[in-house]
Structure 1
């Protein structure tokens, strides 16, 4: 049995992956990994995810340049969620051009956008998807 066998992938062969800034602990994003994405991530030390919409692996930063260098990988107690402590190159994790995908906060029954756009997504992707 390998370390990958201890991960409980769901019926679609995926596991939740949370990326957290290794320096300050801020949650940057949530994505999905299949077995191959997790294996490659551990092997190369950079985050690789599985895109459910594109149905393929994607290396974080492949189009944006905002690579996530993995400093630590942890598995939760149930084995069904992975936590990646990362160094976020360029300081932008979200395809909206923000530091974190979790930029909206619930206040008075409404979602308030709190984090500014660091860089216009059009300037990052030129009309492409996220990455």
Structure 2
């Protein structure tokens, strides 16, 4: 799966990026929302995994702008803030998922797996409707 990982924490980008690559995912990383948007304009990934709180452009604003470019793009928001208001806000703006940091690699991988399964089911349904 093609993943864009966005976080202003370089250690998180490196550790999580290595874990995702080790599991066979193609990964691009951005340390801020502006760079992430530029990457989205060049090549849209299957999923964006973004930190909620970053300088200049946070995850919600990034998700809103990303959905202007690709309305069906799956975005997972990560946050050190684990309150109901933050997760509710993320889902109101179209997040596919919300994970609290520090998150386990396995939890993130499971979310990606669910997205892949959902995408496969949608594709099979679309093909069947054409037959």
TM-score by length of 1: 0.28
Which one has the bigger helix percentage?
2
TM-score by length of 2: 0.28
Which one has the bigger strand percentage?
1
